[in-house]
Amino acid sequence: MIPPRVRAALVRVPGLVPVVRFVRQVLLARDRNLLITLIVVALVIGFLAAEVSNEWFSPSLLILVTLIGGLQLRLASLVKLLVGVGAALGYVAAHLGAGRVGLGLTVTIVFTAVLAVLMARTRGKLGVQGLRGDAMLLELRDRLRSQGELPALPKDWGGKVVLKQAGGSSFGGDFLVSMRDGDSVEIALVDVSGKGVDAGTRALLLSGTFGGLLGSVDDFLPACNAYLHRQRGDEGFVTAVHVRLDLATGDYTITSAGHPPVVKFDAGTGNWQVASAKGVVLGVVPDLHCEPDSGTLRKGDALLLYTDGLIEQPGRDIDAGLDRLLGEAERLLPSGFRDGARALVNAMASGHNDDCALVLIWRP
């Protein structure tokens, strides 16, 4: 349903009204023609099953007719089709006897009809036909994945992103936004409360918003906090960590908003060090104050960003999870950072079902 203000504004656009009317007539004509075709097919199946052969023209073919109607027809047209299917099934039962139709087939057709009605109602709310709704979800998934990739880095830099959603879903509450402008790279790893598909819808919305803010404002996390604070309703918390890196010098600045601390690998000492950046969860207070941390990545150094899905486990302290992460990170060194990132996520995520994300930036 189009809001009245939007409808009034569209009406004033020159030449738009005839186009909308034409498209509507085409869609209605398509729906009407398909309805007539399916009703005729249903009645023909019923007639041939009763008069010619119940084996060659089985009434079970009406299940396919109902499914096609549920995928393509509007709800009002689908109801008319179901009446035709019911008439065809009743004709077969009247000529061959109710026992030849069978209770199992009747129950199956009724169940299929209910499923078709539910599909038509969902498509009606979305305003799409056929499998377009699924195609839209796939396109959103692909866009989210492409946005979560790191920008191209110079040869003397390396980067790896690993995203693992709960339950094997394509959508989750962890996402990455990044951009590169010359020698400056900005990376933001965000964690939306919840997991799997439940958090995926909000993550899709915020990924577009945060992606637009990244690189456009100097204070990225305060800008994200201001946006979330203006939103109405309590939809859970959002944590994020932002890294601004100079590829020419290796200088970096880390700001965090309620996110697990970034860890740095120091090639000189061979140890992982926990960054001191911290801040309040996004959207809680109107003015966000962050305590940044800065440093320099030299040859062999690395920065590791991750979400709490890697270190949180039921019944265990977060600090214990962080210690385990740092211990498992030692496994990155023998095989290299690029090959060890996926192994690290699999090792930390085993035994619990939660969204996990890991970003690794290093200087070879």
pLDDT value, residue 99: 63
Tell whether 69 and 27 lie within a shared domain: yes
Could you tell me the pLDDT band of residue 249, with boundaries at 50, 70 and 90?
very high
Pairing of strands 184-192, 238-246: antiparallel
Q: CA dist 125 to 1, 119, 121, 294, Å?
A: 9, 10, 6, 49
- Is residue 95 domain-shared with residue 146, that is, in the same domain? no
The last residue of one of the domains, among 84, 114, 130, is 130
Say yes or no: 116 and 158 in one domain: no
59-88 residue pLDDT tens: 888 888 888 888 888 888 888 999 988 888
Into how many domains does the chain fold? 2
What tens digit of pLDDT does each residue of 255-286 get?
Answer: 999 999 999 998 888 888 899 998 899 988 88
> Is the same domain home to 313 and 327?
yes
Of 113, 130, 147, at which residue does a domain stop?
A: 130
| CA 213/CA 132 separation, integer angstroms | 30
User: What CA–CA distance (Å, rounded) separates 49 from 44?
Assistant: 8
Query: Tens digits of per-residue pLDDT, 30-55?
Result: 778 888 889 898 888 888 888 887 77
Where among 80, 110, 130 does a domain terminate?
Answer: 130
pTM for the structure as a whole: 0.69
Q: Are residues 181 and 229 in the same domain?
A: yes
For helices 61-72 and 103-126, the axis angle rounded to 10 degrees is: 10
210 and 74, same structural domain?
no
Same domain, 53 and 159: no
Higher pLDDT, 293 or 119: 293
Are residues 188 and 310 both part of a single domain? yes
For residues 169 and 91, state if they share a domain.
no
- Shared-domain flag, residues 91 and 161: no
Question: Domain limits at 238?
Answer: 136-363
**At 242, which CATH number?**
3.60.40.10
Using a 10 angstrom Cβ sphere, with 0-12 exposed, 13-18 middle and 19 or more buried, the burial of residue 26 is exposed
